[in-house]
Amino acid sequence: MREQAGNRKRRPCHPAQRCRCRFARAVGPPFGDPTPGPVLAPLARRVTSPGVDLRSALLAILPDERRVVDGESVLDQHGRDLSHHEPRRPDVVVFPESTIEVARVLALASAERIPVVPFGAGTSLEGHVIPIAGGISLSLARMARVVAVRPDELNATVQPGLTRLALNTAAGDHGLFFPVDPGADASLGGMAATNASGTTTVRYGGMRRNVLALEVALADGSVVRTGTRAAKSSAGYDLTSLLIGSEGTLGVITELTVRLYGIPESIVAVRAAFATVEDACEVAATLVATGVAVSRLELVDGPTLRAVNAYKGTAFPETATLFIEVEQTDDDVREMCGTALTYESDSDPTRRARLWEARHHVLHALLASAPGRLHKSTDVCVPVPALAEAIQRARAAIEMRGLEASIVAHAGDGNYHVLFMLDPADPSERERAEALNAEIVEWALARGGTCTGEHGIGMGKLGYLEREHGDLLPLMRGIKALLDPAGILNPGKVFV
């Protein structure tokens, strides 16, 4: 694949010689120098060099003016995601249709030191796809093909621009499905790049557990494949897991092979309301600990359900409520929810959707309750036994600061979200929300948790990554310098 991308193979260094190649220089001594080298600090860019016009150079690679675009509406679309972070236009958007075209764009960008930001569906929540240094937005929307579905192997190979719902349509013809559900109909390449998870994590895990193999174009235009279609492997370093969650800073995913599962014969949806968050979290922890086959286990707190009732004209109990899906029967769930104030369950698909209605409409309800306000979402993950106290403390702090916010949680894995609704004309509100976010993170870290369970670092949680893994940042920077020595891949994200 290296020859196809127009690069020579590098002759391995002799083990008896002191290696002075760029790979060794990038990594440096074990664990590296804590300060990044000059190649790792490039928010300044060179979009053109003497005698080189960027758009013309890109058109030589993608000879179609519809695939090299600098119109204002397209630049605006690729300069933002679903987050509250300030938009920033790229200089140009390109639409490759093959791995080779991606590799050639990257080779050009590397030679000219032009930033490249991969773009999937734009549904990220921490500014991952915002090109804060300008340059090229590399849209993978035209690489959206199902390469193969293998029912006998329980896996599928897809291009990165394919969305999860499109994959499930293809897999459904074989009685199979792909379980990772972050809520939005995100692209699978983007989901892998951010290690997405969501409501089904309690049973099926996130993207790292469900991606078997990757094809990745590296910054210099070379192409590598990691992993295999085998169910497991002990061969060498797990580079697949390294690239999953790297947020487009180490390479561009051009193909992925994912696990598929059989569609359950029966699914029961449950909605159970409790007097307190503590009661609801205690039941959630018990369900997980006893091994009940729950596939979704979500918590919505009382103030949030109050907003949902106002939005939909419903009369849900305005108290901590668990939304549960269980495969086969809910007998065990019913028994463990003995302290519930109300308990409803149903296996009919239409009525199941109604039981989940309140959970699905949280964001719409919040936006309707605060027209013109800015939506800021954050997440942390704590050990499951600490979830109840984490949510209670967050709610008390929200009210003490006079903020409007919703709290929802993936109660089965300890991941909870605070969704702030902020007045864009009031800087003090944003400052209070940021201060509260910092407190939430610090509390989670002090109890063995993490600053983000599924949103990722992006540009919004740079300082929190240093707080959580400061001792590992030199090693992370060394890996970044090895794979992206010119610093062109999504600069300013994950760390600087």
DSSP states along 121-156 = SS--SSSTT--TT-SEEEE-TT---EEEEETTTTEE
- Would you state the pLDDT for residue 375? 84
Place of tokens 């790979």: 23
Provide the 8-state DSSP code for 7: -
Q: Domains in the chain, start-ordered, CATH in brackets? A: 1-263+456-496 (3.30.465.10), 267-446 (3.40.462.10)
- Would you state the pLDDT for residue 44? 39
Query: Which uninterrupted H or E stretch holds 407?
Result: strand 404-410
Place of tokens 């050990």: 383
Residues whose CB is less than 8 angstroms from the CB of residue 121 and which lie 6 or more positions away in sequence, other chains included: 141, 163, 184, 185, 186, 187, 190
Query: Which pTM was predicted?
Result: 0.87
Instruction: Looking at 248-355, list the stretches that DSSP marks H as alpha helix, in order from N- to C-terminal side.
Output: 277-289, 302-312, 331-336, 349-355
Per-10-residue mean pLDDT, the chain, length 496: 41 36 33 33 45 85 95 96 91 97 97 96 93 97 98 98 97 97 93 96 96 98 97 95 98 98 95 97 95 94 93 93 94 94 95 89 84 88 96 95 93 95 90 94 96 94 92 95 97 92
Rounded-to-integer distance, Cα 339 and Cα 123, Å = 38
Structure tokens at 385: 């036994």
Give yes or no for a contact between 55 and 92, defined as CB atoms under 8 angstroms apart: yes
Number of CB atoms found within 10 A of residue 278's CB: 15
- Would you state the pLDDT for residue 52? 58
Q: How far from 252 is each of 96, 140, 225, 299, 394, CA to CA, in Å?
A: 12, 10, 12, 35, 37
- Would you state the pLDDT for residue 40? 36
Counting beta carbons within 10 angstroms of the beta carbon of residue 161, is it exposed (0 to 12), middle (13 to 18) or buried (19 or more)? Answer: buried
Give yes or no for a contact between 1 and 223, defined as CB atoms under 8 angstroms apart: yes
